[in-house]
Amino acid sequence: MRRVICTTGTSILTNQKRAVGFVRGTKLSIALLYTSHEEYERDLPNHTVVEFEKRLREFLPWTVPVEESTPPTEMPDEWEELKAANAGLTRRIANLEEIIRRYEQQEAETLFQMQHLEQQVTELTKQVEQWRLQAEGLIREKEGLEANNRSLQQEMENLRRALAEAKPPWWRKLLGLPAC
């Protein structure tokens, strides 16, 4: 079981004294807020991370409050510069998120293509193996036919010799007379 992350602070959490959350990837999800330490100690043992993971879709990303902050009176120019830089950073973040989204989409497409190519390689490897086995069978069949052909040629040679010996005057041989 994972531990729940606990933190204290008042800068972001306004009047809250304790915040309970958990980290998944690069995101911190704040699950509970407590106004007092005593309430936090009393209630926290009743909760686990698993309980919040089941309700993960209910969590919303934190956004910067839209209320206008009042600039410090001692440095108003720097305040305006910082506000402009912050607005530029927001646009930059949006651009980077779009680049990341496109990269992830391209990565998914590449991964799909790689899986398709791996499947084709597997199928072609199987086909090559079948052709190799078929070629080996044909080679054995050819060797058998060649051996059969040699034996038939030998038999034909024997029959030719027997035929040559049996040509007329075969009856002379039969009667024991000399051949002409």
Please report, rounded to a whole number, the percentage of residues in the chain having pLDDT higher than 70: 77
Q: What are phi and psi of 19, to 5 degrees?
A: -130, 140
| Three-class secondary structure of residue 104 per DSSP | helix
| Contact (CB, 8 A) for 120 and 127 | no
pLDDT score recorded for residue 62: 62
When pLDDT is cut at 50, 70 and 90, the band that residue 174 belongs to is confident
In a domain, 23, yes or no: yes
In a domain, 89, yes or no: no
| Contact (CB, 8 A) for 47 and 20 | yes
Tokens encoding 29: 């999800």
CA–CA dist 52, 29 (Å, integer): 9
In a domain, 45, yes or no: yes
pLDDT, tens digit, for every residue of 123-157? 999 999 999 999 999 999 999 999 999 999 999 99
pLDDT, tens digit, for every residue of 79-123? 788 888 888 888 898 899 999 999 999 999 999 999 999 999 999
Domain that holds residue 26: 5-58
Q: What are phi and psi of 142, to 5 degrees?
A: -60, -45
In a domain, 39, yes or no: yes
In a domain, 38, yes or no: yes
In a domain, 30, yes or no: yes
C-alpha distances in Å from residue 102, one per residue of 27, 98, 116, 139, 142: 20, 6, 21, 54, 58
In a domain, 100, yes or no: no
Tally of domains within the chain? 1
In a domain, 50, yes or no: yes
pLDDT score recorded for residue 8: 41
